Chain A
Amino acid sequence: MVDQVLPFAVLVLVLFGFALDADHRTLRTFAPGLFWVTVLLSALLAIQRSASLDSADGTGTSLRMSGLSPVARYLGRTAAVFVQLLALEALLVGGLVVLYGVSVEEWFLLVVAGVVAGVAVAAAGTLYGALASGLRARETLLPILVLPVLAPVLIGATRAYDDALGVAAVDGWAWTGLLAVAALVLTVVGASAHGALVED
């Protein structure tokens, strides 16, 4: 994770910087959006790795034989991805401050929105990671399947960060509320559907 996903994330931020060829003011305006797109793309990598952990060496089979409930396995995996995403977000906020000249106005909102959005992404990602695993085209299927579902999370998290980073006058907390609903729905659905997926 440390040597792969994090460098990738920073790289994406840098690439955006190159591509936009902009001054600090423009970068600051787009920072929330670029941040969350970077998080989503990096999350795809983290999810792929998490899903593939159990396809090698027969550990997937051992997990099924262990008698652990599918819900427990889902929650465990989601928690693991969630923790990675938090670390990722923390690093990227630093990246925003340094590379894009962003300043954080509301730390509390930033953290809460980041946590809630992280849960949503981890929940959806773990579900779709399990869904795509074992299929031939799983590397390309995962992004196609999970990204549209995460569209509301992208919109909501970006708007919340617009507020937290002082970029636009929006009600970040209202958006965080929406994110919380999304996180809840995705976690509940993920936990319920996971059983159907790993079962035969």
Chain B
Amino acid sequence: MVELRAAVALLGRFPALSGVDLTIHAGETVLLRGPNGAGKTTVLHLCAGLLRPESGGVRVLDHDLTEVVGRRSVRRRVALLGHATGLYDDLTVGENLRFWARAAGLSAVEADRRTDEARSRLEVPDHLLDQPVHTLSAGQRRRTSLAALVVRRPELWLLDEPHAGLDQAGRDLVDALIGDAVAAGGTVVVSSHELDRVAALSPRTVTLAGGAVVDGPATDSGGIR
């Protein structure tokens, strides 16, 4: 499913990843941990096909991501939840969901159907449909972002600190979503500092430090020591 061999990735001139070795099998749940700046977000972006590896091997879902073609092909099959919402602030929730569903290549009918499904699963209430995204709370935005991703039915989920900034209910929802994805046979990679919460999903833990995978628990403070 995911295979990184001595993967080096640059952000400008900075070597965000200095040689990552990582293998993830289909259906696994993996927790990426490590201090800030270790390269967790970069690993997720690399697997999403958004970043060109400087050297090393990167294979995701049988696509070779060292090639442009591979990177372009893999993106449709992957869902990436980043720090930003990925939604157009001035458009309404409904418009955003419809746009992103259609952009993913779904027909109008299919897009509507899946969007309704996703909305109910993520508890995005009807009255929010006509609200512009910038009027929503952080939790509501996160749910909308997730709904937009659920519609795509990805084979691989890449979640970058999905619980951050959410209230209890929101966090529970994210956990339920991850549970769903796993139950449906999807592969989930979560980068998080919320170790206890994610532990309940019994993931495999991978620790990053200095842009590479290290053994054993690195000091993961999730903040300032």
Q: Which residues of A contact B (CB under 8 A)?
A: 53, 56-59, 61-68, 199-200
Contacts and interface: CB of A to CB of B under 8 A. Distances in A.
Contact of B50 (A53, A57, A64, A68): A64
Interface string B37-73: 0000000000010111000000000000000100110
For the complex of A and B, 9 pairs with smallest distance between CB atoms? A58-B84, A62-B86, A67-B76, A66-B103, A58-B86, A200-B52, A65-B75, A57-B84, A57-B85
B68 A199 contact: yes
Nearest to A63: B103
Determine the interface band of chain B, counting residues with CB < 8 A from chain A.
Answer: 20 to 34
Interface in B81-108: 82-89, 100, 103-105
A56 B100 CA distance: 16
B159 interface: no
B89 A65 contact: no
Contacts of A58: 82-86
A66 B51 contact: no
Contacts of A57: 84-89
Contacts of B188: none
A61 B71 CA distance: 13
Nearest to B158: A65
B78 interface: yes
A65 B78 contact: yes
A53 to B, nearest CB: 7
A25 B84 CA distance: 55
B80 interface: yes
Nearest to A56: B89
Contacts of B76: 65-67
Q: Which of A58, A65, A67 is packed against the most chain B CB atoms within 10 Å?
A: A65
Given A56-B89, A61-B80, A66-B100, 16 more contacts: A57-B85, A57-B88, A58-B83, A58-B84, A58-B85, A59-B88, A61-B50, A61-B84, A62-B86, A62-B100, A64-B50, A65-B48, A65-B76, A65-B80, A68-B103, A200-B52
22 contacts: A53-B88, A57-B84, A57-B87, A58-B83, A59-B87, A59-B88, A61-B80, A61-B82, A62-B87, A62-B100, A62-B148, A63-B103, A64-B75, A65-B76, A66-B75, A66-B76, A67-B75, A67-B104, A68-B103, A199-B72, A200-B51, A200-B52
Contacts of B83: 58
